[in-house]
Amino acid sequence: MAWTPPELRILYLEDEAIIAMETSQLLRDLGFQQISAAASLAGAEQALAEGMPDLALLDVSVGRGHSSLDLARKLLEAGVPVVLATGHTALDLQADPRARVLEKPFSPDDLEAALRHAVGSRHQGGVQGTAAGL
The CATH class, in words, for 9-121 is alpha beta
Task: State the pLDDT confidence band at 24, using cuts at 50, 70 and 90.
Answer: very high
Encode pLDDT of 59-117 as tens digits: 999 988 899 999 999 999 999 999 999 987 665 666 788 899 999 999 999 999 999 99
Find the helix or strand (DSSP H, E) in which 41 lies.
Answer: helix 41-49
Distances 53 to 11, 56, 93, 133 between C-alpha atoms, Å = 6, 7, 23, 27
Ranges of each domain in the chain = 9-121
